Amino acid sequence: MSTGTRVLELLGLLQNRRHWPSHELARRLSVSQRTLRRDIDSLQELGYPITATRGTGGGYQLSPGASLPPLILSEDEAAAIVMGLQEITSGPSPTSADAALSAMAKIVQVLPVRIRRRIDSLRAVAVPARNPEARVGITDVASLTTLALACRDTETVEFAYRTRTGQTAARTVHPHHIVRAENRLYLIAWDLDRADWRTFRVDRVGDASRTGTTFAPRSLPADDPIEYVRARIRAMPARYPVRATVGAPAERVREEIAHYGTVEPIDDTSCRVEIAADSLDWATFCIGALDAPVVVHGPPEAIAYMRAWGRRLTAASVTRATVFRGAEPGGADPEQRTRRKHAPPQAPGLPVAPLRQRPAPGCMAGEG
């Protein structure tokens, strides 16, 4: 075994166990104690923080260093990698989770303390148990980390916040908790300028900085921070209050709509649904995904938008006859050829009437 290969194997052993007795390392590598010490010195010269202990039970272990070992990673990249591995570790695949956990342990083992604190601070992010495979888009890791640290240390924080109208305003808050809800991250904080509780979308926060001033934490006016954020979201005026009647039992529809809207029974086989949304895309998806007859009552923008969806989906179902004309004998799909075969005789030169397509289920046509 060459010296380089042996040193790499030594590094792998040190990463796989917290502490190695020196005689055990020497035995595993089939080298003398003297050669082992030279290899340890080589790794230390490369920047790996290896600590040696003497006496009975003495040996070697990797320790947190003052800087990253030469992995060609910035501190932000190292933190991002560990955060990503944490996501995989909690994922549905046992094989991937085990590998991610092993890799994460090796990286965290040699991270400087300041980076460990940044990663540990993200444990303050509350994630609801439902839908564990949903992922949150994090656009500014530095701001998220700053907010999480300030939540943990009860420290006043300042940041620039982009409102729903696109305007940016400076905010100074006492951060309480970071919550994941509706596939977004929200900061719950006491706004010093408004003297009241506020929720902020983390993806709209920029230039977050800690002031160094600590505060006495207030009690949140709710037992569950996640439900508190959801209640605040529902209380906000939505751009489109979409109302519809669904031909299915309220209990079944409520399971599918979940907390994205309200469901009220009409009778045993139908119910009323209302979804308050800023995006017609989202409301259309929620209603269109219901496997039941639907009639949308308003607002007019929603009716027109969903009708357009229905037309596009209907057109997509007959595109084959037009786009792939000539792909099969006769220049039409089998259904069209069968219809033409059994159609009544027509005058020469008159076109055959196209097939009439029913609207796709759930893509509804609005009232009236």
For residue range 109-160, what is the model confidence (pLDDT) as tens digits? 667 777 766 666 665 565 554 444 445 555 566 677 788 878 888 999 999 9
**Last-in-domain residue among 185, 216, 232:** 232
Tell me if the bond preceding 299 is cis, omega within 30° of 0: yes
Whether 244 and 332 map to the same domain: the answer is yes
* Structure-token pair, residue 273: 């649904």
Whether 34 and 154 map to the same domain: the answer is no
Number of domains in the chain: 3
DSSP for residue 46: T
Which pLDDT band holds residue 99 (cuts at 50, 70, 90)? low
- What Å distances lie between residue 368 and 151, 241, 335, CA to CA? 52, 18, 32
- What Å distances lie between residue 175 and 148, 161, 188, 203, CA to CA? 8, 14, 6, 16
Within 10 Å of residue 354's Cβ, how many Cβ atoms?
A: 11
Residue at 71 is within a domain: no
The whole domain housing 333 covers 237-342+353-368
- Tell which wins on pLDDT, 283 or 195: 195
- Tell which wins on pLDDT, 123 or 23: 23
Indicate the SS3 state at residue 146: helix
Q: For 34-44, how does the pLDDT look when each residue is reduced to its tens digit (9 = 90+)?
A: 999 999 998 88
Mean pLDDT of 84-92: 59
Q: For 291-343, how does the pLDDT look when each residue is reduced to its tens digit (9 = 90+)?
A: 899 999 989 998 999 899 888 888 887 755 555 454 444 444 545 544 444 44
- Tell which wins on pLDDT, 198 or 69: 198
Give the separation between CA 332 and CA 338, rounded to whole angstroms: 10
Give the separation between CA 88 and CA 97, rounded to whole angstroms: 6
Q: What percent of the chain has pLDDT over 90?
A: 22
Q: Please, what is the average pLDDT of the chain?
A: 75
The predicted model scores a pTM of 0.46
Task: Give me the pLDDT at residue 341, please.
Answer: 46
Task: Give me the pLDDT at residue 94, please.
Answer: 43
The β-bridge relationship of strands 184-191 and 270-277 is unpaired
